[in-house]
């Protein structure tokens, strides 16, 4: 039985294929598992999450660091959380065997937390993201997903309870149909096969 992986990252790349100027090219790179050099925004996000994790591990950020206050606030909020939790779930969608997978930044008392770093934030920024629907599917015991977004100074919280989170299954179905319709199925099955 052939089984293929799907991640929220792949679904996000597909979602933005026609919304951004270079979206389709970026999606094809993701589909082909080609890595672009990280942007400054990506590097900031990695550095910020690393600082939060270090703080949770008992390595405080120096008081004079530009992100000291938000890192301290987040580490207090996330104290006791499990970190970097990998989860997998077998699904059957459109007659295809799919392995949905994801890595939760933090998990604490039935709430999934995902940290983001963004120099700008607007309310509802992650409303249409496939991340919270995918992670709610992966962890049926979770009752809420929270994005914790830092702009360098403030922390913004975007919460999605289970009852208001749409199922990820229709989005996966539409993605599989898209791949087949646009002759990308062979690329997907070659690059995303689950072993």
Beta strands at 96-108 and 82-93: parallel, antiparallel or unpaired: antiparallel
Tell me the helix, strand and coil percentages in the chain, rounded to 5: 40, 25, 35
Per-residue model confidence (pLDDT) at position 8:
96
Per-residue model confidence (pLDDT) at position 81:
96
Sign of torsion, CA 94 99 103 109? Answer: positive
Q: Could you give the 3-state DSSP secondary structure of residue 184?
A: coil
DSSP string, 2-67: -EEEEEHHHHHHHHTTTTSTTHHHHHHHHHTTPPPPPPHHHHHHHHHHHHHHHHHTT-PPPTTSTT
Per-residue model confidence (pLDDT) at position 97:
97
- pTM of the shown model: 0.92
Q: Are 104 and 70 in contact (CB under 8 A)?
A: no
Per-residue model confidence (pLDDT) at position 155:
95
Name the CATH topology of 3-191. Answer: Lambda Exonuclease; Chain A (3.90.320)
Per-residue model confidence (pLDDT) at position 42:
86
Residue ranges of the chain with per-residue pLDDT less than 70: none
* pLDDT, tens digit (0-9, with 9 covering 90-100), for 92-103: 999 999 999 999
């Amino acid at each position: 039985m052939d089984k293929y992986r799907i991640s929220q990252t792949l679904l996000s790349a597909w979602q933005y294929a026609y919304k951004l100027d270079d979206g389709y090219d970026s999606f094809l790179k993701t589909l082909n598992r080609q890595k672009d050099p990280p942007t400054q925004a990506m590097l900031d996000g990695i550095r910020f999450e690393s600082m939060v994790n270090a703080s949770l591990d008992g390595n405080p950020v120096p008081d004079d660091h530009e992100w000291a206050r938000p890192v301290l606030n987040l580490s207090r909020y996330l104290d006791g959380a499990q970190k970097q939790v990998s989860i997998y779930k077998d699904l059957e969608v459109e007659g295809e065997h799919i392995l949905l997978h994801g890595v939760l930044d933090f998990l604490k008392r039935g709430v999934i937390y995902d940290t983001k770093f963004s120099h700008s934030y607007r309310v509802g920024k992650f409303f249409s993201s496939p991340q919270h629907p995918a992670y709610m599917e992966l962890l049926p015991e979770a009752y809420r997903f929270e994005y914790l977004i830092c702009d360098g100074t403030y922390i913004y919280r975007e919460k999605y309870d289970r009852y208001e989170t749409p199922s990820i299954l229709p989005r996966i179905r539409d993605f599989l149909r898209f791949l087949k319709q646009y002759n990308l199925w062979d690329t997907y099955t070659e690059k995303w096969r689950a072993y």
